[in-house]
Amino acid sequence: MQDLEKDLTEEIRSQMRSITIPREFLLEAENIEGLLLYYSYAIKEVRAKLEILNDELAFKTKRNPIESIESRVKKPASIIEKLKRKKYPVTVESAFMNLRDIAGVRVICSFIEDIYDIADMFLKQDDITLVECKDYIKKPKDNGYRSLHLIVMVPVYLSDRTLKLNVEVQIRTMAMDFWAALEHQANYKKGIEGIDELIVELTECANIINQTDMRMQDIYHRIKNVEQTNRMEMQNSVRRIAQ
């Protein structure tokens, strides 16, 4: 997310002007600006770690397992709505204590095995603490949704102290991400004709997408095996010529 710190204050103020805010939350407006800024730092920490992993693996394997990384800090209006829905106090302290998805990072990978490889390497880092893991790839939701969800605690190193903040990391394939975007539109856009049939079709598509992901991964391995065999044969030929 580009220029997050620069845009954060104006975005918060804009959100606060457009909604009815409980008085106790309004009194802590300055605190929430700081809170969300700290979460933006946590996102930077996570993104940096993932980008370094991707660069290292690209150097070692000549392939980038991560296609893209997206991130966001939850908007004040969304924080208030979720606190109310969960029946938590609408305060900055309550948001900090009760919400685990104020900061979110979405990682898009090429293949399903990349998802688990990246997650494993990321979680092995000394300063990352796994809080919760929900594997919707091995156990999809009823609607067919697939993704690996991690809640991790990340240290944010400030000038005078270290904060540990929760960040939600979602890791999925490009096909899973495309499906999730369509499913989100189908569920949150009003007035769609034949929505029930559409949801059923989306669920069927999710299963097809999973099968396609698995087949594409298998094809990739077959190609790599051929490349490896050709490389070994070439090396053997070079050795025989040298002898």
Q: How many angstroms separate the CA atoms of 192 and 119, rounded?
A: 37
Q: How far apart are CA 104 and CA 190, in angstroms?
A: 26
Residue-level pLDDT at 52: 97
Q: 């980038």: which residue's tokens?
A: 64
SS3 at position 107: strand
Q: What was the pLDDT predicted at 24?
A: 57
Residue 56: predicted pLDDT: 96
Summarize pLDDT for 132-168 with one digit per residue, the tens. 999 999 999 999 999 999 999 999 998 888 889 999 9
What's the longest Cα–Cα distance across the chain? 85
Instruction: Identify the segments of the chain with pLDDT beneath 70.
Output: 1-30, 189-194, 231-233, 235-243
pLDDT at res. 214: 95
